[in-house]
Amino acid sequence: MRSRILPLVVGLLLIGGVSAAAPAGDAGARGRLDLVTARGELRVCSTGDYRPFTYRAPDGSWTGIDLDLARDLATRLGVRLKIVPTTWSTLLPDFRRHCDIAVGGISITLDRARQAFFSKPYVRDGKTPITRCENKDRFQTLDQIDQPGVRAVVNPGGTNEQFARASLKRATIVVHPDNNTIFDEIIAGRVDLMMTDATETRWQARQRPELCAVHPEAPFTFSEKAYLVPLGDVVFQQWVDQWLNLALHDGTWARISKPWLG
């Protein structure tokens, strides 16, 4: 009798339009969008140390392209914005425990994609050096950089450190914990260069005349920036993608990014 009942139940579910193989993440995704709306608050994780995308000033105020875009996202959802500080080392666990979305120049990686969904990309980027302008010709290639005596500084826990450790075997890697002051180490001569995303090298070089971005138009790697959204939340991911697509084409991105990128 039991063997006849189970096929009958499955058949009735299929006839009624409910698939036994429906993705588990679908219900959770609809729940996330509804949860944010019901809560009246969009919780956004960000590191606050990666201009021009995100910056937390000493007085606690937040600025940056991605923070302004997050404010626009919250406005379009009709909710208030709550920023949750995190670090590159704790980004994923903090995001999964506390946030609806994470922003701030986050590079798409396969490791991160195991733990979260990404939105559609909005910036194409890649790792390239920034150094004192008098040293620009010395550090054009990875072979020139990966030499004994060369000191490459990294901020811990993110793709900059991962790239440096994978690429440099003879040069010295110096870990500096504060990405907001890391470029002062290059100016002071305590390190020789940093390899980071081309967008950041361009912005920092404009703020600090002592520094030059090294071939930011032709970085060593290819990467894209996107926002983290919860793994399995398909509906929420699609909603964020549609918002981002509109922002990139209705003038929102251009208006917000112009003061930072020119």
Q: Fold match between 34-124+223-258 and 127-213?
A: yes
Whether the predicted pLDDT of 9 surpasses 90 = no
Give the model's confidence band at 28: pLDDT under 50 very low, under 70 low, under 90 confident, else very high: very low
CATH for 34-124+223-258 (3.40.1350.10, 2.40.40.20, 3.40.1210.10, 3.40.190.10): 3.40.190.10
Q: Residue 215 corresponds to which amino acid?
A: H
The pLDDT assigned to 30 comes to 53
The pLDDT assigned to 6 comes to 41
Task: Judge: domain 127-213, CATH 3.30.565.10.
Answer: no
Please write the tens of the pLDDT for every residue from 209-255: 999 999 999 999 999 999 999 999 999 999 999 999 999 999 999 99
CA-wise closest residue to 43 among 229, 224, 226, 238 = 229
The pLDDT assigned to 17 comes to 36
Domain ranges, ordered by start, for the chain: 34-124+223-258, 127-213
